[in-house]
Structure 1
Amino acid sequence: MSLPAAQPAEVLRAWQKDDSYQKILADWLSKLLPSRHASKAEPTSSILYKYFTTLKDLQTLGEEYSGIVQVDETYHKLPTFNSRLISILLSIFGEHLTRKLLRSAEKQIEKNASLRPEIQNISLVVLRALNNIIPQLENIHRALCYINGGPIQIGKMIMGIDYVQVRPAAAAYYAHLRLLGLVTLMHSIICCGQNIHRAKKHMEQMRDFPLEVNSDEACAACLEEMLQPCVLQCGHIFCIECCYGALDSCALCRSPFTKNTVIPLMNYKPGR
């Protein structure tokens, strides 16, 4: 006789309990570690907590409290050691790794001189939109777990790990949790739509963006009158407010630059 799948309320309760214990452990570790390593206390506490529970074929304190046990996709066996290990690493470092890969891709695109400026700009807008959407994707997954059940951690879902109930659960909380899931899902979808709309609008604006500087008209970055022109290492000219302001790469060729390499053109005036 197979055990029933764990109810969403019990999975959420277990996750909340485990999260609170890990935060307590992280607080203790932060007091023991040097201040320069304080940021490592949280991932270290998660690794230690999961090592002495999940990787030792034991329930976590939250799972024991809720009466649930991890199983593989067959619902008859415990997950393999490798599956549990990969799911833990994905849960702890997955978001950080994804953001790092996106930032690395942005830098590669910015340095790729063979790409046309419009292709570079569109690629950068898409990557930055994906970076903004990552938290909403996590919220969508969590909302679906509230509604349909399943593990809250995306790492467990990827590795095919789920939960079964080993003792009777409090079913009264399920209706409220399902309503919370629907509200969370709607909010996350709206936020994703807003990010996609902003990215689309940005790309539409860039289609009309000048690819060459017309010094007789305006700065190509802010489209305002170029009162104090400065030249970058790539040879393109912008106003001083853009060069020493928000820009960290040329708005025309995407070549990166630092503020100390900007050269003000003291005796240059656009149009002459």
Structure 2
Amino acid sequence: MALPVAQPAEVLRAWQKDDLYEKQLADSIARLLPSYHAAKAIPVSSILYKSFTTLKDLQTLGEEYSGIVQVDESYHKLPSFSSRLLSIILSTFGENFTRRLLRNAEKSVEKNGSLQPEAQNVFLVLLKAMTSMIPQIISIHRALCYINGGPIQIGKSLTGIDYVHVRPAAAAYYAHLRLLGVVTLLHSFISCGKCIYQAKKYMDQMRETPNEVDSNKSCVACLEEIIQPCVLPCGHIFCMQCSYGALEMCALCRSPFMKNYVVPLMNYYPGEL
């Protein structure tokens, strides 16, 4: 008899529990590391937590709490070791790897002398837009999980891992979670549309000066001109709206920071030094 597929609410509850435990572990590891290595505590805690649970064919604390177990695409077997290992790597390093890949692609386009200046500008803006859309892609995947079920992490979805119940679940209709999924999906699409609009705006500006592609004057987080520059503890510069707004970690090096550590640069104008 096949076990029932886990409900979206149970998967979300398990993910929230595991995310809490990983953050607590990261805080403990960060206290043991020098301040300039504190950002490494997050991936280290994720690798350690998943290595002692998922990689050993054991439930995580969140999965045990929700009564769910990881299975492969057949829903009858546990995932293979290679699938579990790949899902851990993708979940931990997938976003950073994608950002580095896009940055390397930007550098390759900038150094490519065979491209026409206008085509070069188009490719650079599109790559920047794709970089800024990475959080929205993650939100879209999460929203679809709220609606249709499945793992929250993209790494598990890419490796064919899903969840089943191992103990009876309370019968309930999770209409509120599906509504949250729809709202999240709409918000993500609107944000993606904003990124595309900003890309088009920069494309129009670059057509006026096709021989110059100056990324030093634009904020990587919002793709707009840096009017009120602020420097983060890691040394990267963003506009004030992003630094004191929704930005919780550096969009370039992924180092987390606190708002009271952000320093406004009153007499500095990007691109003039």
Could you tell me how far apart the structure 2 residues matched to 1:72 and 1:137 are? 24
Question: Relative to 1, partners in 2 of residues 1:157 and 1:208: Cα closer, same or farther, differing over 3 Å?
Answer: same
Measure how far apart 1:207 and its partner are: 3.1
Structure 2 counterpart of 1:167: 167
Could you tell me how far apart the structure 1 residues matched to 2:120 and 2:194 are? 22
Could you tell me how far apart the structure 1 residues matched to 2:149 and 2:61 are? 20
Map Cα deviations across residues 170-220 of structure 1 (whole Å, 9 max, x no partner).
3436111111111100100111111112212322343344659xxxxxxxx
Could you tell me how far apart the structure 2 residues matched to 1:33 and 1:159 are? 33
Map Cα deviations across residues 32-90 of structure 1 (whole Å, 9 max, x no partner).
12222211111111101001100111000000000000000000100000100000110
Does 1:204 find its partner at 2:167? Answer: no
Cα pair 1:9 1:173 within 8 Å, conserved: no
Other structure's SS at 2:172 match: helix
Question: Relative to 1, partners in 2 of residues 1:66 and 1:108: Cα closer, same or farther, differing over 3 Å?
Answer: same
Q: Percent of pairs identical after alignment? A: 71
Could you tell me how far apart the structure 2 residues matched to 1:170 and 1:189 are? 33
1:84-95 equivalent positions in 2, closer than 5 A = 84-95=84-95
Other structure's SS at 1:164 match: strand
Cα pair 1:11 1:68 within 8 Å, conserved: yes
Other structure's SS at 2:133 match: helix
Structure 1 counterpart of 2:43: 43
Measure how far apart 1:167 and its partner are: 1.2
Cα pair 2:142 2:152 within 8 Å, conserved: yes
Q: CA RMSD in A?
A: 1.8
Structure 1 counterpart of 2:125: 125
Measure how far apart 1:131 and its partner are: 0.4
Of residues 2-11 and 103-112 in structure 1, the stretch that sits farther from structure 2 once superposed is 103-112
Measure how far apart 1:113 and its partner are: 2.3
Structure 2 counterpart of 1:135: 135
Could you tell me how far apart the structure 2 residues matched to 1:135 and 1:211 are? 31
1:69-148 equivalent positions in 2, closer than 5 A = 69-148=69-148
Question: Relative to 1, partners in 2 of residues 1:102 and 1:211: Cα closer, same or farther, differing over 3 Å?
Answer: closer
Structure 2 counterpart of 1:4: 4
Cα pair 2:121 2:210 within 8 Å, conserved: no
What amino acid is the match of 2:102?
A: L
Of residues 191-200 and 134-143 in structure 1, the stretch that sits farther from structure 2 once superposed is 191-200
Map Cα deviations across residues 79-132 of structure 1 (whole Å, 9 max, x no partner).
000100000110010000000011111111112222221111111000000001
1:151-162 equivalent positions in 2, closer than 5 A = 151-162=151-162
Of residues 142-151 and 194-203 in structure 1, the stretch that sits farther from structure 2 once superposed is 194-203
Question: Relative to 1, partners in 2 of residues 1:110 and 1:210: Cα closer, same or farther, differing over 3 Å?
Answer: closer
TM-score (norm 1): 0.76
Could you tell me how far apart the structure 1 residues matched to 2:211 and 2:3 are? 64
For structure 2, which runs of at least 5 residues remain unmatched after alignment? 218-267
Cα pair 2:79 2:161 within 8 Å, conserved: yes
Cα pair 1:7 1:171 within 8 Å, conserved: no
Could you tell me how far apart the structure 1 residues matched to 2:15 and 2:169 are? 15
Could you tell me how far apart the structure 2 residues matched to 1:123 and 1:97 are? 19
Measure how far apart 1:247 and its partner are: 3.8
Structure 2 counterpart of 1:251: none
4+ residue runs of structure 1 moved beyond 4 angstroms?
Answer: none
Structure 2 counterpart of 1:26: 26
Measure how far apart 1:245 and its partner are: 4.6
